[in-house]
Structures are given as C-alpha cells and as structure tokens.
A and B are shown apart, each in its own frame.
Chain A
C-alpha cells in the first residue's frame, strides 16, 4: 500500500547531461524504518539521497514525502564530510540551522542535542580545528538533529573513520533512531555496516542506477558488536554480497541487467531470501 510510505519515489530518473545516472526508480520507505542503501560506486545512491533531500531535482518522476511535494523542514541530511563552519565553535555550528531558518536559537535544545551525540559540555566552545574527526562527525549529526526532523538522510557519514569508531557511532545512531522514532536512510559502501545498522538493506546496481533488491535483516535492535561474529550475520553478509556481485555483473553486461532486474526486484516470487515488501511500489 503506497499510502503507508513516508518517502515515496515514483518513476524517478536522473541524467547528468547525456549521462543517465538513475533509471526509473520506484521505491518506498515506511515511517520509522531504518534502511541502508549499498551499491557499487557510480550507481547513483548518493544522487538518490540528494534528490530526496531536495539538493538535486529528478529528470523525470516524483519524490513525495508524506504524500506532499514540499517537505524540506522535515528532512535532515548528514554529508560524507562533517561540513562544519570552521569559524564557529561546536555549539554555534549546531545552532546554525536555527539561525539560517530565522528561528530563535533554543540553547537548551542545542546543548541537549550535543550531549545526545556524546559531545561533553567542556567541548561546546571548541572550534572544528580543535576537534577530532569523530567528534566533528558527531557535531555534524547533532546539527542535523537539532531541528528535530522526522527523516534523517546520511550519505556515507562514517566512511573516513576507523572501524572501531565507526561501529561506536553506528550504535549511537541506532539509539537515536529508536529514541526519536526517525525514518533513516543510510547510504554506505560497507556491507557489514549496512547489515549491522539497519532493518533493511537495499542493493543498487549501475547502468543506469536502480534498486536491484531489498533484503530484510532479521536481528533484533539494539544490536551488540558480537553479532558480527555469528553465522546468521555471515549469511546476511553473503546474501547482500551476492546481490552486489550480481549488480556489478549486470553493470558489465547490459543484457543481464534487465534479466536480474526482473528476477530480483520486479517479481517477489523470485526474490529468494530477499524481501520486496517495502522495496517496490505496485
């Protein structure tokens, strides 16, 4: 039922000049869902996310948020880089969305959000150049959350961080998602991270980009780091990897693209371990 989708992507395609990046994407995300998108580089996963955020316009098709076209206030976006204004301290960076949108700065809310992402009071006045990579990213997430959005979009936010820190931030993000009942769309190229963090993993393929398959992740939330060593996790990993490999092969062989598209996403019966329940609109 399309009515239940919070983010609804209808027949969306995107070209950069003559180059098709996304071709006819149909896709929906339900309210409160945590979904990751993985895919080979150049498959248009970031472009898709940027279109949902309104940073790019689709060449054809429509993106609806809660069935409305104008939606910017409800959406927050976390970039691959922290993108902090270097002349503002941590607190002022988080207060920035209030100022840009000409609202009165809610200092209490800013402080609360900074603490939520693990920035301590004594670091509020620090400039970005005095913060570590991980802390910058935390401030960046706080800035995204401070206006209390309903939808959080993240474009490979932890790609530059080491594994340990990444896992830690993944877990904290899941906590925030649970607490604030956010709908989260998380783009990553790290399969393990995608499985660890989300309820569903959408695999994209190139040439031009499409959602190839959506895979349910069966683990209960919150998850501990140890689940990464279980057999079930390995099985999930294998399923996503296989889908990704298929995506890469289909990119090399255009004839096969249509085939796998049909097998993998258009028809639920052929999806095997994969679930299309949320992935495709009728």
Chain B
C-alpha cells in the first residue's frame, strides 16, 4: 500500500465515520428544536450553544483544564493503587476472598452519597475531586488486572516451573507482562470513569480555584446554552482521555500482542 493511499484509508476508516455521526446528530437536534419550538432555556439549538461557548470560551476552557487535572490525578492514583491491590490479590486465594468484597463496595456505593464525606474529610478543592475520581475509576483496573495476573498461559507457567523460578521472578517476568492486555482494557474503562468522577466531584467542591466543568454545570442551571457547552466539553474530555489512554496502551504496552485484531 502506498503512503498516500494509507492516508485515505485512515481518513475514510477513522476520521470520517465519527464526523458523519456528529453531523447526523446535529441535524436531528436542530430538527427537534425547529419542530418542537422549545425555548432556549430548555433546549438551545446547536448554533446557540456554539455562540454561548464562544462568548465564554476563556472560562469554559479553563474549567475543562481543571477537570482534566482532577481526572488525570484520579486516574493516576487508580493506576498506582489498582495495580498494587491486584498484585496483592494474586498472591493468595484467601487475600482475594477477604478483600474482594471491599473492592466491590467501591464499585457499588453511590458516589454522590460518598462525595460529601470525601469533601468533609479532604476539604473542598482539587484533592477531593481527584479522590472522588479515583474512587470511581479504580475498580475496573483492579478487576481486569487481577484477572490478567491470574490467567497466565499454562505452557509459559510450566516453562517457569521447569527453571524453578521464584514467585518474584514469575510475577515480574511472567504474570505482569501477561496481565498487560487486561490492564489496558481496565485502563480504558477507568479513563472514561475518571472524567465522570471528576465532574461529579466538582459538584460538591466549589472553591474558586477549582471551578471545573462539573461546578459550571451545577451553577449554570438557568443558562442552558453555556451549560450545554460545558456538557459537550466534559464529554469531549472523556472521549479524548479514553482515546489517548487507548492509543498509549496499545502502542507502548501491547505492541507484542498476537491476539490483537486490528481489522474488526
């Protein structure tokens, strides 16, 4: 394949489909608006939202940046804590049995119920939003990574037995690399969740220094066009984080993966 034609394939295969989907969505949105004649404070048109964004672009972009920082902070903490917990879990069955219910608790507890407690303990501010983002995003990393660490190819496991490998050798040289595909899957889910957690966290943390997208959405209930623009940006932030994390994961962690199917 020539270089030029591969650019076209990339354009038609990767860029064009989501663009078409967005255009179709805008058409539907505008049509609903025109037909229903809803006022702007209930459903603003895409054009009104765009105008509202442009007029408040400085504020919205600054909020997006703050939310991004909270999400990245939460996600980083999830990666560190999640993988450590997974490594602990794969050491013995009784550890898994004892502590896994606590991990599930993290997943099932309603985050809006816990967030005020977090704010109470950590004070309003970015640290609290980061922590809420962490609480929401750590579970997918724990479950996926633990599964990966435990599902090692039997043939490779026997190879390590053959050379009398220590537990540590087996963990470092076999289990951790084997778990990377699962870890990346967990990371992708967690990356989207971390943005969600940051936005929810900001609902409860209202300092001037930490006025992220969540706080903007919360405060701008009566200014629907700007609120819609903030919602759009928080969504885009989630998509961007997910895409970047997926790309990094597959490019740098899974370059060796034979099972990866790239043409589906």
B163 pairs with A100, CB closer than 8 A: yes
Chain B residue with minimal CB distance to A80?
B155
**Contact pattern, A 95-110, Cβ under 8 Å of B = 1, otherwise 0:** 0110111100000000
A53 surroundings in chain B (CB, below 8 A) = 162
Q: Is A83 a contact of B156 with CB atoms below 8 Å?
A: yes
With A81-B155, A83-B156 already in contact, the answer to whether A72 and B164 are too (CB < 8 A) is yes
Provided the pairs A83-B155, A96-B173 are in contact, do residues A101 and B258 lie with their beta carbons within 8 angstroms?
no
Residues of A within 8 A of B153 (CB): 83
Say yes or no for A129: interface residue by CB 8 A criterion: yes
Asked if B40 is an interface residue, CB under 8 A from chain A, the answer is no
Given A79-B155, A87-B256, A127-B256, decide whether A101 and B177 contact each other with a Cβ distance below 8 A: no
Q: Assess A87 versus B158: contact at CB under 8 Å? Given A97-B163, A100-B163, A100-B165.
A: no
| A69 close to chain B: CB less than 8 A | no
Alpha-carbon separation in the docked complex, A135 to B257 (Å): 18
Nearest Cβ on chain A to B183's Cβ, whole angstroms: 13
- Contact between chains at B160 and A100 (CB < 8 Å): yes
Q: Are A55 and B158 within 8 A (Cβ)?
A: yes
Contact across chains for B161 and A55 when beta carbons are under 8 A apart: yes
What residues of chain B lie closer than 8 Å to A102, measured between beta carbons? 169
**A86 interface residue per 8 A CB criterion:** yes
Do A85 and B177 touch across chains, with their CB atoms under 8 A apart?
A: yes
Asked whether A44 is an interface residue with its Cβ less than 8 Å from the other chain, the reply is no
B159 on the A face (CB < 8 A)? yes
Interface size class of B (residues with CB under 8 A): 20 to 34
Closest to A50 in B: B158
In the bound complex, what is the Cα–Cα distance between A100 and B258 (angstroms)? 24
The verdict on A27 contacting chain B, using a C-beta distance below 8 Å, is no
With beta carbons under 8 angstroms apart, the residue of A87, A127, A128 that contacts B177 is A87
Find residues 130-172 in chain B having any chain A CB closer than 8 Å to their own CB: 153, 155-156, 158-165, 169
Q: Does B174 contact A (CB under 8 A)?
A: yes
In the complex, are the beta carbons of A77 and B173 less than 8 A apart? no
Q: Is the CB of A79 within 8 A of B256?
A: no
Q: What size tier do the contact residues of chain A reach?
A: 20 to 34
**Per-residue CB proximity of A120-146 to B under 8 Å, as 1/0?**
000000011100000000000000000
- A100 contacts B256, CB within 8 Å? no
Is A129 touching B258 in the complex (CB atoms < 8 A)?
A: yes
Interchain CA distance A88-B165 in the complex, whole Å: 17
A79 contacts across to B, CB distance below 8 A: 155, 158-159
CA distance A97 to B159 in the complex (A): 9
Complexed CA–CA distance, A102 and B173 (Å): 12
Which B residues lie within 8 Å of A88 (CB)? Answer: 256
The reply to whether A129 and B158 form a contact with Cβ atoms under 8 Å apart is: no
| Nearest chain B residue, comparing its CB with the CB of A147 | B163
Q: Which residue of B lies closest to A81 (CB)?
A: B155
CB nearest to B254 among chain A residues: A87
When distances are taken between beta carbons in the complex, the residues of chain B under 8 Å from A83 are 153, 155-156, 158-159
30 A–B contacts, CB within 8 A, in A order: A55-B161, A55-B162, A72-B162, A77-B162, A79-B155, A79-B158, A79-B159, A81-B155, A83-B156, A85-B156, A85-B173, A85-B174, A85-B177, A86-B256, A86-B257, A86-B258, A88-B256, A96-B173, A99-B169, A99-B173, A100-B163, A100-B164, A100-B165, A100-B169, A101-B163, A102-B169, A127-B255, A129-B256, A129-B257, A129-B258
Instruction: Name 14 extra pairs, CB < 8 A, besides A72-B164, A85-B174, A101-B164.
Output: A53-B162, A55-B158, A55-B161, A72-B162, A72-B163, A79-B158, A81-B155, A85-B177, A97-B163, A99-B173, A100-B164, A100-B173, A102-B169, A128-B258
